[in-house]
Chain A
Amino acid sequence: DTGVSQNPRHKITKRGQNVTFRCDPISEHNRLYWYRQTLGQGPEFLTYFQNEAQLEKSRLLSDRFSAERPKGSFSTLEIQRTEQGDSAMYLCASSFGQTHTGELFFGEGSRLTVL
């Protein structure tokens, strides 16, 4: 297991296009998180899953953003009708835990540039 894997690593798109990012967590981890990070800021929580259930979604996340985790394995984050303000690094992290906050293992991120 090489850790959390994210694809693509870089994506350049034109405003108005749709983009999808994929995250493959560490295999035994039941929790999966998506974060967004812009220059000079820390990771900002977007959403998280426990197994296949999406348990929470940030109020900052517009309805153009959707995430799935079918069968509790990999996850996808889709952004529809991209805007320049969506340009950021999108981080995925996974953890193992049932009742307690566990250590997050991060992927290398997917950098989105919207022209």
Chain B
Amino acid sequence: AQRVTQPEKLLSVFKGAPVELKCNYSYSGSPELFWYVQYSRQRLQLLLRHISRESIKGFTADLNKGETSFHLKKPFAQEEDSAMYYCALGVFNKFYFGSGTKLNVKP
């Protein structure tokens, strides 16, 4: 069965520190992985997808099929990065979400 695991409920870092939000998935086929973000009082929105291999707002994520992971990284966190982050697995036009990690960037 498809499953997405985000082991950290809350991650607190100071401004300027590196950030890594962990995501592991369970799927036997070829996965499509995404990171979605929800800022305070805003709707859930796409941050990045593995197929694009791009950096958005300084965030990157690399798909590691051997470790079945898709961790989200940013070298220098900013206060405006504080939000809920959800990792999602796309399978045949359905999306399975992890339980989310709340990132708190302290000044």
A, B: real partners: yes
* A31 CA to B94 CA, complexed, in Å: 10
Beyond A103-B46, A106-B45, A107-B43, is A42–B99 a contact (Cβ under 8 Å)? yes
* Chain B stretch 34-75: residues in CB contact (< 8 A) with chain A: 34, 36, 43-46, 49
Q: Which residues does chain B contribute within 8 Å of A106, judged by CB atoms?
A: 43-45
Q: Which residues does chain B contribute within 8 Å of A33, judged by CB atoms?
A: 95
Residue of A nearest to B90 (CB): A101
B48 to chain A, nearest CB (A): 10
* Chain A stretch 96-115: residues in CB contact (< 8 A) with chain B: 97, 101, 103-109
Beyond A48-B93, A97-B93, is A104–B46 a contact (Cβ under 8 Å)? yes
**Apart from A45-B96, A101-B92, A108-B43: 6 A-B pairs, beta carbons within 8 A:** A4-B43, A42-B99, A101-B91, A103-B49, A106-B43, A107-B43
